[in-house]
Amino acid sequence: MQIQRGYLYRLLIIMSLIVACNATASSGQSKAPRDATAMTINFAGVDYLHRWSKDNQNEFTPLSDSNLAKWQDMVTIILYKQVTDATQLAETANQVLTNYQQKGEVLRTDSKPRTVSSPAEHLLIALLGDPTLMEAVFARFILIDGAGVLVLYAHREYGSGYKSALLMGNWLETNAAHYEKALMAWNSIPKAAVLSKLPQSKTN
């Protein structure tokens, strides 16, 4: 994704529209970090530690990003076990797209048609926020072993007023293309059987 010049100005406008919304994509609740023996994944050259799982949603943050009340980077893997074909996957992606359109600003969408060697995929990049932060969401929808999977990388910038918008604008200009490419190329996504064995939270 190429960020055009003048993007900071657009972000300021977006911030004024969604500043009253609490529309962040991942739960980001204050949970106790797990110990160093917990499962780790590597995304974009960074190790992420498993922090929380419930109802087929699994959250990971970098080893150094243990303050889950104010995390900055998170990888979330959501299993849609009821999604078993390309049509259902597209419908799921469209449902999420509609939700993001209502609560924030969609920056980019893209789809990769099915090939002989790989299933169809969908990409959604959106900007969400509330009065204290902005969150960029990179969402990849894919079929793995015949089941739908949403792999979501999210980055947050904190600050009241327009501070978080300015920080996010700078971050997107520098990093958006890198993380889109990393997400779409990531081929070591944990399988459902592995994720189902992760410790499950008893609370939200």
* DSSP 8-state class, residue 72: S
- Going from the C-alpha of 116 to that of each of 35, 113, 120, 141, 189, the distances in angstroms are 42, 10, 10, 18, 20
Q: What is the mean pLDDT of residues 55-82?
A: 93
Give me the CATH number covering residue 143: 3.40.1000
Query: What's the pLDDT score for residue 3?
Result: 41
Q: What is the mean pLDDT of residues 129-136?
A: 89
Q: Is residue 143 part of a domain?
A: yes
Q: Is residue 43 part of a domain?
A: no
pTM of the model: 0.85
Which of 31, 73, 71 has its CA nearest to residue 54?
31
CA–CA dist 55, 48 (Å, integer): 20
Q: Is residue 128 part of a domain?
A: yes
Q: How far is CA 189 from the centre of its chain?
A: 14
Q: Is residue 202 part of a domain?
A: no
**Beta strands 121-130; 57-62: pairing state:** unpaired
**Total number of domains in the chain:** 1
> What is the rounded average pLDDT for all residues in the chain?
84
Q: Is residue 42 part of a domain?
A: no
Q: What is the mean pLDDT of residues 132-147?
A: 93
Range of the domain at 122: 7-27+71-195
Q: Is residue 15 part of a domain?
A: yes
Element (H, E) at 11: helix 7-18
Query: What's the pLDDT score for residue 32?
Result: 45
